[in-house]
Chain A
């Protein structure tokens, strides 16, 4: 079944659709054939016990994990028909543990600009500073990224992707390792991005109940909608 969501009287076509997506780890089935659709500005939460395949699900959607590349459609096209760089520019993935490359905060925030798929895109320092301020990060752009605290790294990693304005953001446990103040900052940043039209799938073991969105639970190899 394909969800069609009415937005302002217009039927919005989904950005991401799962069509019979099944997940396996080795020979063990994690998720049986599942259909799901995600439209612009929508937010999905997926909860479930650890090791149940939530992360694998996100990694399959952005094609970091191999599997049948016809079970995930983005803008109506199966992943197998995309140039993968373009797909991953459209569908960003934020892993649970933030990864910083060697260099400054600036180097990390601009990391993607050295890739061919972003040629022509520029991120002047002013944009970067504005982004840091919006996440309450009081950091010098020249600061050594490897010396940041875990909470700072998590926000720098989030900002690294937000600056690239993907249409979809897949977040794996974005606040799991953060204290409540940092978690709030991350949630507010995701909310702002969502309000501007970014679709989001957020995997979390916390309920995040005051954060609006559709809620699902991955349990017994099925994705169940929560009331």
Chain B
């Protein structure tokens, strides 16, 4: 089966969708026109750029280049979380970077070397797209869990301090908040397993099918992706919540926020 080439001219017709959203934004005064414009330009620019970068990396297949691309993705993920979760009292960049790095590296390596058994395990055609999905989902999960954690520490401050004042340690005072936050990060990827195939046909599977891959093969890949994303969100939120939580308390078990 041949894939129909879209071409840039036909692709520009898809701007009609953006136009639709912009009209809605104007009529209902959503004030999103600017974001829509910037978002559209960035989508075109970033994806066009990454297309060339991937082509280049795939052709050369040099470990140093793959490492560079990996660090680049990692940095932007941590940067995006830092931007979404604005927190003046506690620095979150370090912990988010660490949790992103561990999750990205560990899960991606396990998937390429043990499950898919790519040789070598860092072969960019596998490592980069799989890692990209892992990083993207871990990023969302981490920012969700951080937002939940920090807002509940503030909102339920008196309960936390009640436990502290009775003689509880910071771990005891934050126990329920910690599990709530980890859960908040994991729920989307767990819920996705419930509806996949019934409601949503995931992008990767659809893409493979459009590209002419045997649906059975595409489905196996998709199952792998669903499961690895659950692992990634669990690991990422677990690490980040534990690292950040410690920083929200002083060494004398005082709430810092």
Q: A88-B164, A95-B158, A99-B159 are in contact. Are A116 and B169 (CB under 8 A)?
A: yes
For residue B165, CB closer than 8 A to chain A, the reply is: yes
Binary interface encoding of chain A residues 61-84 relative to chain B, with 1 for a CB under 8 A from any of its CBs, else 0: 011111001000000000110001
Chain A, interface residues (CB within 8 Å), range: 20 to 34
Of the candidate stretches B18-26, B194-202, B246-254, the one touching chain A is B246-254
For residue B167, CB closer than 8 A to chain A, the reply is: yes
For residue A92, CB closer than 8 A to chain B, the reply is: yes
Chain B residues within an 8 Å CB radius of A86: 167
- Bound CA–CA A209/B253 (angstroms): 36
Q: Could you tell me if A66 and B252 are in contact, using CB atoms closer than 8 angstroms?
A: yes
Q: How many residues of B contact A (CB 8 A)?
A: 18
Which among A65, A80, A101, A112 is the interface contact of B167 at CB below 8 angstroms? A112
For residue B33, CB closer than 8 A to chain A, the reply is: no
- Bound CA–CA A108/B256 (angstroms): 25
Chain A residues within an 8 Å CB radius of B166: 88-89, 92, 111-112, 115, 160-161, 164
Binary interface encoding of chain A residues 51-68 relative to chain B, with 1 for a CB under 8 A from any of its CBs, else 0: 000000000001111100
Q: A99-B158, A115-B172 are in contact. Are A93 and B165 (CB under 8 A)?
A: yes
For residue A123, CB closer than 8 A to chain B, the reply is: no
Chain B residues within an 8 Å CB radius of A112: 166-168
Which among A80, A101, A160 is the interface contact of B252 at CB below 8 angstroms? A80
Q: A97-B158, A99-B159 are in contact. Are A84 and B165 (CB under 8 A)?
A: no
Q: Could you tell me if B162 and A85 are in contact, using CB atoms closer than 8 angstroms?
A: no
- Bound CA–CA A159/B167 (angstroms): 16
For residue A211, CB closer than 8 A to chain B, the reply is: no
- Bound CA–CA A111/B162 (angstroms): 10
Q: Could you tell me if B169 and A64 are in contact, using CB atoms closer than 8 angstroms?
A: no
Chain B residues within an 8 Å CB radius of A64: 161, 164-165, 254-255
Chain B residues within an 8 Å CB radius of A99: 158-159, 161-162
For residue B227, CB closer than 8 A to chain A, the reply is: no
For residue A117, CB closer than 8 A to chain B, the reply is: yes
A164 to chain B, nearest CB (A): 7
Chain A residues within an 8 Å CB radius of B252: 63, 66, 69, 79-80, 84
For residue B163, CB closer than 8 A to chain A, the reply is: yes
Q: Could you tell me if B165 and A85 are in contact, using CB atoms closer than 8 angstroms?
A: no
Q: Could you tell me if A88 and B250 are in contact, using CB atoms closer than 8 angstroms?
A: no
- Contact residues of A between 27 and 71, Cβ < 8 Å to B: 62-66, 69
Chain A residues within an 8 Å CB radius of B164: 64, 88
14 A-B pairs with C-beta separation under 8 A:
A64-B254, A66-B252, A80-B252, A84-B169, A85-B169, A88-B167, A92-B166, A93-B165, A99-B158, A115-B163, A115-B167, A115-B169, A115-B172, A116-B172
Supply 8 further A-B pairs (C-beta < 8 A) apart from A84-B169, A99-B161, A115-B172. Answer: A63-B254, A64-B254, A69-B252, A85-B169, A88-B164, A112-B166, A116-B169, A117-B167
Shortest 7 CB-CB distances between A and B: which pairs?
Answer: A89-B167, A117-B167, A112-B166, A88-B167, A93-B165, A85-B167, A84-B253
